[in-house]
Chain A
Amino acid sequence: MPTDQIQYKYHPENLVRSEPNKFDVANLRREEMIINLGPQHPSTHGVLRLEVLMDGEIVKEVVPHIGYLHRCFEKHGENLPYNQVIPFVDRLDYVAAMNCEHAYAMGVERMLGIEQQMPKRVEYIRVLMAELNRIASHFIAIGTYGMDIGAFSPFFWLMRDREHILRLLEWASGARLLYNYIWIGGLFYDLPVGFEERCREFVDYIKPKVKELTDVLVDNKIFVDRTANVGVLPLDLAINCGVTGPMLRASGLRFDLRKVDGYSVYPEIDFNVPIGEGKMGKTGDCWDRTQVRVEEIYESLKIVEQCLEKLTKEHKRTRDFNPQALVPKKIRPKSQDLYVRAEIPKGELGFFFRADGKSDVPFRCKCRSCSFVNLSVLPELAKGVLIADLIAIIGTIDVVMGEVDR
Chain B
Amino acid sequence: MLDHVLRIVTPVCSSGVTADDACTPRAIKISAADLLSVMDTLYRHPTAFFDMLSCVTGVDNGVEAATLEVVYNLYSIPFNHHLMIKVLLPRDKPEIESVSHIWKTANWLEREVFDMYGVHFKNHPDLRRILMPADWEGYPLRKDYKHQTYYRDIKVEY
Contacts and interface: CB of A to CB of B under 8 A. Distances in A.
A263 interface: no
A341 interface: yes
A336 B86 CA distance: 13
Secondary structure dominating the interface of A: mixed
Contacts of A253: 77
A176 interface: no
B108 A19 contact: no
Given A242-B105, A376-B104, A376-B105, A339 B25 contact: yes
Interface string A62-87: 00001100101011001000000000
A338 B59 CA distance: 13
A240 B73 contact: no
B23 A338 contact: yes
A170 interface: no
A8 B155 CA distance: 9
Nearest to A14: B152
B152 A19 contact: no
B23 A336 contact: yes
Nearest to B151: A18
B55 A366 contact: yes
B46 interface: no
Interface string A226-255: 000000000001011110000000000101
Contact of A18 (B55, B77, B133): B133
Contact of B133 (A19, A337, A341, A406): A19
Interface string B45-56: 000000111110
Contact of B54 (A341, A354, A364): A341
A71 to B, nearest CB: 10
B23 A7 contact: no
Contacts of A335: 22
Given A9-B153, A72-B140, A240-B104, A337 B24 contact: yes
B105 A373 contact: yes
A39 to B, nearest CB: 13
A359 B110 CA distance: 29
A134 B22 CA distance: 34
Given A7-B154, A67-B133, A336 B22 contact: yes
B157 interface: no
A373 B152 contact: no
A279 interface: no
Given A240-B103, A339-B73, A339-B84, A364 B59 contact: yes
Interface residues of A, number: 50
A67 B22 contact: no
Q: Max chain A CB contacts within 10 Å: which of B57, B116, B132?
A: B57
B24 to A, nearest CB: 5
A248 to B, nearest CB: 10
A260 interface: yes
B131 interface: yes
Q: Max chain B CB contacts within 10 Å: which of A9, A22, A337?
A: A337
A174 interface: no
Contacts of B55: 339, 350, 352, 366, 368
A16 to B, nearest CB: 10
A78 B109 CA distance: 19
A7 B151 CA distance: 11
Contacts of B154: 7-8
A368 B77 contact: no
Contacts of B131: 66-67, 70, 405-406
Q: Max chain A CB contacts within 10 Å: which of B52, B109, B129?
A: B52
Interface of A: 6-9, 11, 14, 17-20, 22, 66-67, 70, 72, 74-75, 78, 110, 237, 239-242, 253, 255, 260, 334-341, 348, 350, 352, 354, 363-364, 366, 368, 372-373, 376-377, 380, 405-406
